[in-house]
Every structure is written in structure tokens, then in C-alpha cells.
Amino acid sequence: MQHPDRTRILHFVRHGQYVDDPDVFGGVLSPLGRRQAGVLGKHLSDLPIQKIWTSDMNRAIETGDIIASFLPSVPVECSDLFREMIPTKVKQFKVSLARRREDRRRLEEVQERLLKRSNSRRHELVVAHGNLIRALLVQVLRAPLTSWVQLDINHCSITTFRVMSNQQIRLVRYNDCGHFPASLVSNENLI
């Protein structure tokens, strides 16, 4: 039997468009990225979000801060758990086996920590990175982990999972940019 009052709804958001900055860990949002985060924050302000998680990379922190300005009473927690990752071998990148193993460990930890039912109905927001969101999606769908590179994901798009009271996980939406006019949609910097 399902208990809708024990459902966790997790909204994963890719950070806004950014530019690399050698002096800032994770780059800085571009003017377009700041606009994307503002439009997204306004869009999310109608949801009963109870917690915001962000990666500790600057582009995610900036995005989370802009979104949080539309949700002033919602607590924000920053964590290296939600950092960018490359959990499998990718032809054009040389990533050590140790790093890929660490990224897969973090992916499992995200699942264990967040993709579990709640004792009450709750909405949570995670501002993270495209590779983490794509890898998490293929894990939830039980597709081969290597298939994450075949997915596209836009800046400030929303991917939502519903964790049911029986622990089943449902994909509600992926890469949703319906809150944007076409001029705000971007997805560069993907592997």
C-alpha cells in the first residue's frame, strides 16, 4: 500500500551556464547563467521545497544562492558529495581508475542518502552537475552506467524523482526546461 504522505520528491537541477575562472573553484556563472537561475528560482517558488542541497563547486553555489533568494525560509546545505563526476571511462578524457571509483562511490552515496522514502511528504532541491544527474538517472533506470554519456542535459533544467513509500523510485521528468523561453536554453560544457 502506498502512503502519499511518506513520499520524497527530489528535484535535481543542473547549475546555470558558466565560464571557467582559474581563480574560482568550479567557475562563475555567466550573465546568461544568472538569468537562468533567476527564472528557475521564480518557477520553483511555488513548490513546497523544504531543503536545498548544493555542490561545493562555485557555479552550483551561485545557482543555489539565486534560487534560494526566491525561497527565503528554506535551509541550504553545501556538500562535496554533489560535485561534478566522471564515473566511467570516457574515450576523450583520461581519468584515473581511482578517480572513477571515487565518483562511483559518491554516486552510490547520493542514492543511499537521498533516494529513500521520507517519514513525511517532502520536496527537496539538489543543485548539482550534469554528469552526476545523468549518471544518477541511468542508475535509477537500471541502464548500463556507461550510457550516461548518451544523455543531454541543459543548464538549469529540472530532473525530478519521486521516491514512493515502498522505496520504488519513479522518474517524473528529465531535463525539463519548460520554464524558459528558447533564448535561455543552453547545454555546452558537456562531455
Q: Rounded to an integer, what distance in angstroms lies between the CA atom of residue 131 and that of residue 152?
A: 10
Mean pLDDT, the chain, integer = 93
> In the predicted model, what is the mean pLDDT of residues 85-100?
90
Global pTM value: 0.94
Rounded to 5°, the CA angle 124-130-132 comes to 70
CATH superfamily of 4-184: Phosphoglycerate mutase-like (3.40.50.1240)
Per-residue confidence (pLDDT) for residue 4, from 0 to 100? 57
Q: Is the pLDDT of residue 28 over 70?
A: yes
Sign of the Cα pseudo-torsion (146, 148, 152, 155, in order):
negative
Per-residue confidence (pLDDT) for residue 117, from 0 to 100? 80
Q: Is the pLDDT of residue 1 over 80?
A: no
Q: How confident is the model at residue 187 (pLDDT cuts 50, 70, 90)?
A: confident
Q: How confident is the model at residue 158 (pLDDT cuts 50, 70, 90)?
A: very high
Q: How confident is the model at residue 2 (pLDDT cuts 50, 70, 90)?
A: low
Contacts of 98 (CB under 8 A, 6+ apart): none
Lowest mean pLDDT among 4-8, 70-74, 179-183: 4-8
Per-residue confidence (pLDDT) for residue 78, from 0 to 100? 97
Q: Rounded to an integer, what distance in angstroms lies between the CA atom of residue 43 and that of residue 124?
A: 15
Q: Is the pLDDT of residue 97 over 70?
A: yes
Q: Is the pLDDT of residue 77 over 90?
A: yes
- List the domain boundaries for the chain: 4-184
Q: Is the pLDDT of residue 62 over 60?
A: yes
Percent of the chain predicted with pLDDT > 90: 85
